[in-house]
Amino acid sequence: MDDLYREVIVDRYKNPIYRGTLDPHDISFEDDNPLCGDHIRIDVRVDANNIVTDARFDGHGCAISQASADLLMETILGKSLDEVKELTKDDILDMLGLELGPVRLKCALLSLKVLKAGAYGLGEASDDLVE
């Protein structure tokens, strides 16, 4: 567990770098984890070549969900939207450096689900995006 609450996770939870909103933005999407009420909103700006130039998340939830969102924002800076669409569950687990059970996996993947739903311009976020 001390693994699960590694310093980087607790630190990013308490002192996030990318918390906030962007106005204007090119992409904005938000969703909840209905199981626990975690909520994440993500705003993204892209340039003419669809490269991510800025990204911010906002919302509330557990340390895993919020730290995961903060790290994800950092990860996608400079990436193209096509690359963002290709991100998977494994990328998130690598990023966190964690093994997670099915319940906490939902916390960790909420930000990716929101981001990909926004990147694809979907009306609704689906778990299929992060399977």
Partner 1 sequence: MEPRTKNHTLDVNRIRADFPILDRFVRPGVPLVYLDSTATSQKPLVVIEAMDDYYRRHNANIHRGIHTLAEEATAAYEEARRKITAFIGAPSSRQVIYTRNTTESINLVAAAWGRANLKLGDMIILTEMEHHSNLVPWQMLANELSLRLEFIPVREDGLLDLDEYRQLLQQSPKLVAFTHMSNVLGTITPAKEMTALAHQAGAVVLIDGAQSVPHFSVDVTDIDPDFMAFSAHKMCGPTGIGVLYGRKEILEKMPPYMGGGDMIKRVHLRSFAPNDIPHKFEAGTPAIAEAVGFGAAVDYLQSVGMDAIHAHEQEITAYAVERLEEVPGVDIFGPKTEYKGGVISFTFAGVHPHDISQILDQGGVAIRAGHHCAMPLHEKFNLPATARASFYLYNTRSEVDRMVEALYKVKEIFG
Which residues form the interface with partner 1 (CB under 8 A)? 1-2, 4-5, 10, 14, 35-39, 60-66, 104, 107
Residue whose CB is less far from partner 1, 44 or 57 = 57
| Residues whose CB is less than 8 angstroms from the CB of residue 9 and which lie 6 or more positions away in sequence, other chains included | 63, 64, 67, 96, 98
Smallest CA-to-CA distance from 72 within 24, 130, 122, 128 is with: 130
CB nearer partner 1, residue 11 or residue 26: 11
Q: How far is the CB of 79 from partner 1 (least distance, A)?
A: 28
Instruction: Indicate the residue among 51 and 63 with the shorter CB distance to partner 1.
Output: 63
What are the residue ranges of helices labelled H in 2-131?
A: 7-14, 63-76, 81-86, 89-96, 102-120
- Cα 47 to the center of its chain, rounded Å: 20
> Could you tell me the smallest distance in angstroms from the CB atom of residue 71 to partner 1?
16
From the CB of 42, what's the least distance to partner 1, in Å? 18
Cα Rg of the chain, angstroms: 13
Q: Which is nearer to partner 1, 2 or 128 (CB)?
A: 2
Least distance (Å) between residue 26 CB and partner 1: 28
